[in-house]
Each structure stands twice: as C-alpha cells, then as structure tokens.
A = this chain, B = another copy of it.
Amino acid sequence: MQKQQLLTKNQQIIFDLIDKSTEPMKAYAILFNVQKKGIKAPLQVYRALDKLVEIGKIHKIESRNAFIACQNSSCQVSKATAFSICEICEKVTEISSASLSKYLTNFKDKDGMKYSKYNLEFFGLCKKCR
C-alpha cells in the first residue's frame, strides 16, 4: 500500500476545482477560478498542476492543453493513460480497460524496445453527438 500523498494548500485548492469540473480545465481558466482564494499568478497554478500530474491525481490532455482529474482510482502515478475525446462537444473520458493497458504496457517495438510510459488519445463522437 502506497502512502497517501498529502496535498499542500494550493495543490488542494486546484485539485478540488479540477475534480469538481465536468470537463477538462485549462490552466488560465483554473487561474481565473482560484483568484478569489489567493492564487494570483500563473506559476502558482502551473506548479500545482505539475505536482498533481506527477503524483497521478490529474492528467494532462495533451491535444487540448487541459487537465482532468484521474477517474481511475488505481492511477497513483501517471504512466499509462488513455482517453476518449469527442471532437464535437469536447467531452473527455479516461478509459480504464485492463486489456488495453495490458496490451500497451507489454508492447515492444521492432527493436524489442519496451516503454516505461504511454499516453493514448482516441478521437471520435460521443453518444450524444452522433
């Protein structure tokens, strides 16, 4: 059992905001929302985001420059992530498929190289948007 990571004040404020959000949040939208709580500068946001990503509490959606809370209780470290992204409404869902993660974690390239980390983003239309 891994020791539960305690969040600092800024990290907690920012995590709570992202966690409550129903959609991925961008850094400056986060900044705008936490200014009333005393977080005034971009760096304060980015530092908290970096840490939260590092410990796996949130993930960055690279194609959108946005951040989402981990929806997968087992993601204690951010090293194997997969998302589905709707190209119309921009809804993002973290995919948790044992077979997918097994396949990718064990994937070896032509040279037999195995990787320590991956990020996969699927694009399509969600149920509502079809």
Instruction: Give the B-binding residues of A (Cβ under 8 A).
Output: 62-63, 84, 93, 95, 97, 100, 103-104, 107, 109-111, 113-127
Contact = CB atoms under 8 A, between A and B. Distances in A.
Given A62-B62, A119-B63, A113 B127 contact: yes
22 contacts: A62-B63, A63-B119, A84-B109, A84-B115, A93-B109, A97-B109, A100-B107, A103-B103, A109-B122, A113-B124, A115-B122, A116-B123, A116-B124, A116-B125, A117-B122, A117-B123, A117-B124, A118-B121, A119-B121, A119-B123, A120-B120, A120-B121
Number of copies: 2
Contacts of A63: 62, 119
Contacts of A115: 84, 122-124
A77 to B, nearest CB: 13
A127 B112 CA distance: 10
A84 B62 contact: no
Contacts of A97: 107, 109-110
